[in-house]
Amino acid sequence: MKTKWVDQARQEPVQASEVPDAWFVWKKQDKAALEAVSRPSLSYWKDAWRRLVQNKLAMTGFVFLVLLTIFAIFAPILSPYEVNKQDLPNQYQPPSQEHWFGTDNGGRDVFTRTWYGARISLFVGLMAALIDFTIGIIYGGLSGYKGGRTDHIMMRIIEVLYGLPYLLVVILLLVVLGPSLGTIILALTVTGWVGMARIVRGQVLQIKNYEFVLASKSFGTKTSRIIRKNLLPNTMGPIIVQMTLTVPSAIFAEAFLSFLGLGIQAPFASWGVMANDSLGSILSGHWWTLFFPAFFISFTMFAFNVLGDGLQDALDPKLRK
């Protein structure tokens, strides 16, 4: 017998004689230990959450968005200034103790207006995402579920709509309808849902083809369990990511429209309107009137983008380790 062997714990060769005779007895096998050997398998959502939390950039975005929401809700209430009250003697005050973000050309408090703008920009973004989601789920779901001719025709319609230049259609609609909170959301969603519908359809088609769905069914697993354990994790990922990315693109589009003079009109002031109103002021040295809304647009876009990326990584079952 050769003695080329190693004690795993000590990492050094051991002589066979060093192993006590007493160890040569049958080990008690317990079934629990047998199963416990394998790594504890986390549920899909827990695992995804763990991966998301580990992604520092995505968490930065997430925390920022949570704070932003809280501020957007409470800051305008707590602020001593009114959003739209002109105070011309106090025009263009630089940031100070009284006006944290300074004042604009009308002497209005930029801090208050920024959080008020957050409400509107977030509202536009979230509503656009929600409506896209709803229409997309219904249209894409129906198309994928029905299949055959129905699917074919519905997809041709999608293809035609997909070819339409999104922002041009939005501009056209707003020129005709006149810009307001409602019409902007309407215009953004008129063709915006197409992307979501495509994704939903793709996911539905995928589900239909999954062998494990059939497999679970044939084992008599409950439908609700199939949906929760198999379908949702495998299909919600891309849809959630798409929603996360719709919000910033809607906020971006609203800012762009503000620039064209088609943004949300007074008394509301979205970030886009605030930034656009102050584009000239930066040259006259009143940088703060542009800086704060522009910073919050950019950082919100950033936050949603990195959160979307993080979610994509976290939710993609292919990449799971």
Partner 1 sequence: MLRYVGKRLLMMLLTLWVIVSLTFVLMVTIPGSPFNSERGTNEAVQSNLEAHYNLDEPYIVQYVLYLKSIATFDFGPSIKQPSQTVNDMLGRGFPISFELGIITIIVAVISGVTLGVFAALKHNQIIDYLAMGFAVLGISIPNFVLATLLIQQLAVNLEWFPVARWLSPTHMILPITALATGPMAIIARLTRSTMLEVLTQDYIKMARAKGLAPWKIICKHALKNALMPVVTIMGTLLAGILTGTFVIEKIFAVPGMGKYFVESINQRDYPVIMGTTVFYSAFLIIMLFLVDIAYGILDPRIKLHKKGGK
Partner 2 sequence: METLLEVRDLHVTFSTYGGTVKAVRGVYFHLNKGETLAIVGESGCGKSVTSQAIMRLIPEPPGKITKGEVIFKGKDLASYTEKQMRAIRGVDISMIFQDPMTALNPTLTIGTQLMEGLREHQAVSGEEAKIKALEMMHLVGIPNPKERLKQYPHHFSGGMRQRIVIAMALICEPELLIADEPTTALDVTIQAQILELFGHIQATTGVSIILITHDLGVVAKIADRIAVMYAGKIIETGTKHDIFYDAQHPYTKGLLNSVPRLDLKEERLTPIDGTPPDLFSPPRGCPFTPRCPLAMEVCGKVYPVTTERSRSHHVDCWLQDERAQQLLARTANQ
Of the pair 30, 209, the CB lying nearest partner 2 is at 30
Nearest distance in Å: CB 56, partner 1: 11
Of the pair 137, 187, the CB lying nearest partner 1 is at 187
Nearest distance in Å: CB 236, partner 2: 21
How many angstroms separate the CA atoms of 289 and 106, rounded? 11
Contact residues for partner 1, defined by CB under 8 A: 156, 159-161, 163-169, 171-173, 175-178, 248, 252, 255-256, 259-262, 272, 275-276, 279, 282-283, 287, 290, 294, 297-299, 301-302, 305-306
Find out whether 25 and 10 touch, Cβ atoms under 8 Å. no
Helices (H), 99-180: 110-146, 148-163, 166-177
Of the pair 128, 231, the CB lying nearest partner 1 is at 128
Neighbour tally for 64: CB within 10 Å: 18
Of the pair 149, 321, the CB lying nearest partner 2 is at 321
Q: Which residues contact 246 (CB under 8 A, 6 or more apart)?
A: 125, 128, 129, 132, 133, 192, 195, 196
Contact with partner 2 (CB under 8 A) among 44, 45, 54, 304 = 54
Nearest distance in Å: CB 300, partner 1: 8
Nearest distance in Å: CB 262, partner 1: 7
What long-range pairs does 46-50 form, CB within 8 A, spacing at least 24? Answer: 47/320, 48/233, 48/314, 48/315, 49/314
Of the pair 68, 173, the CB lying nearest partner 1 is at 173
- Residue 7's φ and ψ, nearest 5 degrees, are -75, 120
How many angstroms separate the CA atoms of 68 and 61, rounded? 10
Quick note: the x/- pattern for partner 2 over 5-44, rule CB under 8 A, is xxxxx----x-x--x-xxxxxxx-x---xxx-xxx-----
The entry of partner 2, partner 1, none near residue 243 (CB within 5 to 8 angstroms by kind) is none
Nearest distance in Å: CB 102, partner 1: 17
Choices 2-10, 99-107, 208-216, 261-269; region in contact with partner 2 by CB under 8 A? 2-10
Q: Which residues contact 180 (CB under 8 A, 6 or more apart)?
A: 264, 265
* Helical (H) or strand (E) element with 6: strand 6-7
The reply to whether omega before 267 is within 30° of 0 (cis) is yes
List contacts with partner 2 (CB under 8 A): 1-9, 14, 16, 19, 21-27, 29, 33-35, 37-39, 51, 54, 321
